[in-house]
Amino acid sequence: MEWSIHEVTRFTGTTSRTLRHYGHIGLLEPSRTGHGGLRYYDEDALVRLQRILLLRRLGLSLPAIADVLAGARDVSDALRTHLALLEQEQDRVQRQIASVRRTIEKKEGGEQLMAEEMFDGFDHTQYRDEVEARWGQDAYAAGDRWWRALSPEDRRVFQDRSRQLIADWTAAAGRGLAPDSEDAQDLARRHVQWLGTVSGTERTGPGKEYVLGLGEMYVSDPRFAATYGGEEKAGFVRDALKVYADRHL
């Protein structure tokens, strides 16, 4: 039995763009391609997709998922791999918890803070493989240089703007605003301005394809969708950004 790409997107909530991307990088090939290039997926492909989506929800990058799927020969091997990854994540979270606790204790006790202790378990390079797989090594290197060059205050301002935008988007989606409404378009304008502070876009601003691509990723990537309160609300962000891009970029 086979299912078309349209059927798979309907009952998994995954976009056709995402499935085609998985196929392009060799992560999930269709069982066959029919008339007009329509892709079909059999039971084995759906089982593989299920595992991919579960691993994505664990926060694994696409190259890491490919390694996991390639390395597991049977169910027991796959479960052991999953367990090892969960234990690694548990260790990282425990290190972060201990780091924050030390910071609180030292702040309240009037002790000197040690930077290497404050950021144990925090790693902004954790998505390096995924960024390089999607946009190339130069894109990651440029972004990494940009971030490292920012002062602590500049980083704080950037992150504060990000958090405020997320909160405002979530509230707007909860109000049931239309993507082309005045308030939604004001949010889209602020969002694009914020994107313009990121490395590579400072001079010319983010282009239309850049904004549209990010909007699609906000929906297709479970981590981004969760940030905006779920796929439906992330879809509101995507649609509002598309309206803005079509009008102004």
CATH number for the domain that contains residue 26: 1.10.1660.10
Q: What is the mean pLDDT of residues 20-42?
A: 92
Higher per-residue pLDDT: 175 or 76: 175
Q: What is the CATH number of the domain that holds 161?
A: 1.10.490.50
Mean per-residue pLDDT of the chain: 79
Domain that holds residue 228: 150-248
Of all residues in the chain, what percent carry a pLDDT higher than 90?
24
Q: Is 109 exposed, middle or buried (0-12, 13-18, 19+ CB in 10 A)?
A: exposed
- 94 and 156 in a single domain? The answer is no
Q: Considering its fold, how many domains does the chain have in total?
A: 2
pTM across the whole model: 0.50
pLDDT of residue 118: 46
Same domain, 234 and 160: yes
173 and 241 both lie in a single domain: yes
Residue 63 covered by a domain: yes
Q: What's the pLDDT tens digit per position in 80-127?
A: 666 666 676 676 677 767 777 777 777 777 766 554 454 455 555 555
- The arrangement of strands across the sheet holding 32-33 comes to 2-4, 39-42, 32-33
Q: Per-residue pLDDT for 246 more than 50?
A: yes
Cα–Cα distance for residue pair 172/183, rounded to 1 Å:
8
In a domain, 133, yes or no: no
Average pLDDT over residues 209-236: 83
